[in-house]
Structure 1
C-alpha cells in the first residue's frame, strides 16, 4: 500500500516522445504523429532499404567460412543477389564477427558481385557493430566512419543517431557524448530526437551537473537548444530523485525559454510530491496548472487523489473526485483504489468496502490492486471474516496476492485460530505464483512460531 501505481503517468511519457530506436541500420524516421517535411522525406529515402537479419545464419566467426557460405548462396541463386540480400548477409555476420572481418566480407561482396553497390545503410551496419564492439576508445568507430566517407557517404543525422543509440546500448555514454561533439564539428549535428535520447541516457547514469554541462556546451557551440521534451526529461529525472525545488526551477526556465509546460510536466511534478506525501504541494501544483490554462487530465486527478489519500486527507480527495467527474473524467480503478488506500490508512476499512460497492455500481471493475488494498485494510482493522470473503473473490478471479496483503492475512488467520485456512492461502499464493515458495513459506512459518511462543507465554493473540 502507498506505492504510486504505474498508471499515474501520462499516456504519453517522456520516453515516448523520444523517437523509437531504428529497427534496421538506416536512418528512417518515426516522428510520432508528425508528418515529415519534403526535405525530411527525401533524406529518409536515401537510406530506405530495410535489412532482414538472419541471426542463425553464421555458426562461426571465421571469415573464410563466411565467404564460402556467401558464394554458395550466390551460386545456387536461392536468393536474388541484390543490395538487401547482401546487407542481410553482412548484418548476420556482424553479429558474430569482428569489425575488421565484417569489412573484409563487405570487400569480398563487392569483388565477387560488381553489380552490388553498398549504400549508406550498408555502412551503418558496420558502424553499429563498431560502436558495440568491446574497445577502450573510438578507433573502430573512426575507422568505419572514414570508410563511409571514402566511399562517398558523409555522415548525416541518421549516422549520428545510429552511433549514439548503439554506444548507449552497451553503456558507452561518455563515448557517445564525445562522438556527438566530433560529428557536430563536422556539420553532422544530432537532430532533436537523438539529442533528447542522449540527454535521457545521461540522466540515468551521470550527475545532474554533468547533464547541464553537456546541454550548455551543445547550446553555446552548436546552437542546439533544449525543447519541451528535453525539459520534461530533466524534470522527470529530478522528481525521481525527490529534488522538487529543482523541478520547479526547471519549470521557470522552461517558461523563460518560450515553452509552456504541458499536462505531462505538471503531472510529473505532482507525482514527485506524492512520493514525499506532501498533499498541500500537490494541490499547489494543480492550482498553478489551472492558472496557467493547462487542462488537467485523468492522470492529473488520479495523481491528486492518490497524493491526498496517501497523506491522510481523504475528505479533500473525495472532493476532487466530484470535481473530476464534473470535468468529464470518469473515475477508474486507480481513482477508487487510491481513495480506498487512504481510507484504510485512517482505519476506515468498512468505508473503503462500501466504496467498492459504489465503484461497481458505477460500472467500474476493481482489479487485483483494489482487492489487495481492501484485504490488507480489513485485516489491519481485524475484520477477519470480511477479509476471508474478499479473499474468496480474489481466488475466484484468479488474481495474485500482493506480499503485504498476503502476510497480513496469514497473520490474522493464525491469530484467529484459522491455521488450516492459513495453509490454504499459502497453497494458493504458491500455485498462483503470487510469491515464491520460499517467501510464502517464510511468512507462514514465522507467524506460526510467533503464535506458538505467544501461547507458551500466556499472551492473548
Structure 2
C-alpha cells in the first residue's frame, strides 16, 4: 500500500516535546533498562540512544517490529514516540505494528482507534491478520459489540475473514454467554462451505455449552467434529471433563477417558486432575482413589491442593470404610515425602484416621507436631488421641498432651476425656496426678464424674 504523508491525529502523534535529552518522567531513560529486559531489547536501546543513525522508515519499522515481537512493549512505545525526531512519518506498516503492540498490552480500545485512523486516512485496507488481532483483543475483553462492528467493517472493505477470525468471534460469543449464537455461527460456517471449521472452532463452542451446563450438546459437537475428519485435541476433551464436573456428573468422565484412549489421544495431567477434582467434590472418593493411583502409575504429579482434598475425602470416608485407612496412610506418606503443606482440617482428619487404625503413636507424634506449628486442634481431635492413648495404657503421652494444651491456651477436653484420664491414673495408683487432672478440669469449668481415689 502507498502511504500518503498524512499526520496522525493528536491521540496517535508522538509527543513533539519528547527528545532523547528530555524524556518525560513516566518513561525510563533510554540508556537504562532493568536487569529483566531481554538482551535484544538492551541492544536496541543502544540504537535508540543514537537516533540519528536511523535514516529510513524501513529501518525504523524493522526495529519497532523487533521490539514488539520480543514483548518489550514499553520500550516499543517509547521508540515510537521518537518518530518525529527522526523526521519520519508513519506508514501502514508502522500502524500495523502499533496495533499489534496495543493488542499485546491487552488494550483493544486503543488498538481499534489506530485501526480506524488507518481506515479513515487513506492508508489502504488493513489485512486480515490486523483485523483479526483487533477482533480477538476486543473479544477477550468481552467487548463483543465493538468486535462485531470491526468484523462488519472488515467485510465491507472486502477483506475476507479466515477461520481464525471466526474462531475469535466464536470464543467471544461464548465468553459473554451467547452460546446459541455461537452454535448458529458455527453451523453457518459449516453450511456455507467456504471455510472449514478447525478443531478450535468446535472446542470454543463446546466450552461455551459446558459452561452453561449443556455437556451433552458439547459431546454432540465432538462427534460432529470427528465426523468431518477433525482430530480433537487434549483441550477439547478437557473441556468436557470440566463440564461433567460442573454438572455433578464426574463418573461419566471415565467413559470419556476410555474414548480418548481408543481414539489415540493420551490424557494429560489436566485431564486426570479435572476428573479427580470433580470426583472428590461430588463425594466419589473410591473412584477418586482409582484416578489418583492411575495418575501415579503414569508418572503425573498431583498438586498440593488436590492432595489435601484427596486426604480429607479419604479420611472422612475411612470412618465407615476401614479399608480406606491404608489409602489415607499412603497419601499422607506421599505428601510428607514431597514436603507438601497440610491444611489444618486435613491434618486433624489424618490424626483421627491414625487413631481409628490403631496407630495411636503416630497420632500422638503428629498431634504434637501440629501444636508445635502453632495450629490449634479441635476438642474432638484432642479427645480422640488422649482416649486412644489411655486405652493402650500410654498415660505419659496422654498427660503430655494435657500439658501442651495448657501451655497453648487452647480449648480443654470434654468431660468424658477427663474421666478416662482420671480412671487410668487411679488404676495405676497415681493419685497425685489424678488430683492435678481433676483440678485442671474444675478450673476450666468441667466437672468430671470420676474423682481421684
Q: Structure 2 length as normaliser, TM-score?
A: 0.59
Match of 2:205 among 279, 294, 304: 304
State the alpha-carbon separation in 1 of the partners of residues 117 and 233 from structure 2. 45
Quick check: 1:394 aligned with 2:303? no
Structure 1 residue 162: deviation in Å?
0.9
**Secondary structure in 2 matching 1:223:** coil
Checking the alignment, whether the CA contact within 8 Å between 2:91 and 2:123 is kept in structure 1 is no
Residue in structure 2 matching 1:262, options 139, 146, 162: 162
Following the alignment from structure 2 to structure 1, what is the Cα–Cα distance between the partners of residues 277 and 43?
55
Aligned to 1:281: 181
Deviations along 1:432-451, one digit per CA (max 9) or x if unpaired, are 7xxxx5xx415x33433588
Name the residue aligned to 2:195. 294
Alignment partner of 1:335 out of 236, 243, 253: 236
SS at match of 2:230: coil
* Structure 1 match to 2:250: 349
**1:383 partnered with 2:383:** no
Q: Does 1:175 align with 2:64?
A: no
The answer to whether 1:223 aligns with 2:132 is no
User: Whole-Å Cα distance in 1 between the matches of residues 130 and 266 of structure 2?
Assistant: 37
| CA deviation profile, 1:272-327 (whole Å, cap 9, x unmatched) | 34444543233133134335532101111122222212221112112112211111
Q: Deviations over 1:380-433 (max 9, x none)?
A: 22221221111111112221324664443232123224677456446646877x
**What aligned pairs does 1:28-427 form with structure 2 within 5 A after superposition?**
128-131=45-48, 140-145=49-54, 154-163=55-64, 165-166=66-67, 169=72, 171-180=74-83, 186=88, 189-190=90-91, 192=93, 195-205=95-105, 207-219=107-119, 223=123, 225-290=125-190, 293-402=194-303, 405-417=306-318, 421-422=327-328, 424-425=330-331
Partner Cα distance (2:133, 2:252) in 1? 39
Q: Which runs of 5+ in 1 are unaligned?
A: 1-96, 100-123, 132-139, 146-153
> What corresponds to 2:397 in structure 1?
none
Call closer, same or farther: CA 1:421–1:455 in 2, change over 3 Å: farther
Specify every segment of 5 or more residues in structure 2 that has no aligned partner in the other structure, as ranges: 1-29, 33-40, 319-323, 353-376, 384-453
Does the 8 Å contact 2:64/2:76 carry over to 1? no
Which range moved further: 364-373 or 331-340?
A: 331-340
**Residues 310 and 159 (structure 1), Cα distance of their counterparts in 2 relative to 1, 3 Å cut:** same
Contact 2:182 2:205 in 1 (8 A): yes
Measure the CA separation in 2 of the matches of 1:207 and 1:163: 18
Compare 355-364 and 370-379 and name the one that shifted more.
Answer: 355-364
Q: For 1:265 and 1:228, locate their aligned partners in 2 and report how far apart those are by CA, in whole Å.
A: 8
- Flag the 1:330–1:379 CA change in 2: closer, same or farther, 3 A: same
RMSD of equivalent CA atoms: 3.6
TM score, norm. by length of structure 1: 0.58
Q: Quote the Cα distance in structure 1 between the aligned partners of 2:88 and 2:74.
A: 24
Q: Is the 8 A contact 1:173 1:202 kept in 2?
A: no
1:38-64: CA deviation from partner (whole Å, max 9, x where unpaired): xxxxxxxxxxxxxxxxxxxxxxxxxxx
Written as runs of structure 1 = structure 2, the 5 A alignment for 1:442-457 is 442=342, 444-449=343-348, 453=378, 455=380
Tell me the residue number matched to 2:19: none
Provide the secondary structure at the position in 2 that maps to 1:351: helix
1:5-44 mapped onto 2 (5 Å cutoff): none
Structure 2 residue matching 1:365: 3-state secondary structure: coil
Determine which structure has greater relative contact order: mean sequence separation of CA pairs < 8 Å that are 6+ residues apart, divided by chain length. Answer: 1
Deviation at 1:368, TM superposition (A): 0.8
1:255, distance to aligned residue in structure 2 (A): 0.7
Residue 456 of structure 1 deviates from its aligned partner by: 6.4
**What's 1:121 paired with?**
none
Q: Secondary structure of 1:416's match?
A: helix
Q: Is the 8 A contact 1:340 1:374 kept in 2?
A: yes
Q: Is the 8 A contact 2:125 2:157 kept in 1?
A: no
DSSP-derived class of the 2:160 partner: coil
| Superimposed CA distance per residue, residues 112-132 of structure 1 (whole angstroms, 9 cap, x where no aligned partner) | xxxxxxxxxxxx99865142x
Per the alignment, do residues 387 and 454 of structure 1 end up closer, same or farther by CA in structure 2, a change over 3 Å counting? farther
Kindly name which structure, 1 or 2, has the bigger radius of gyration based on alpha carbons. Answer: 2
Greater mean deviation of Cα atoms: 326-335 or 383-392: 326-335
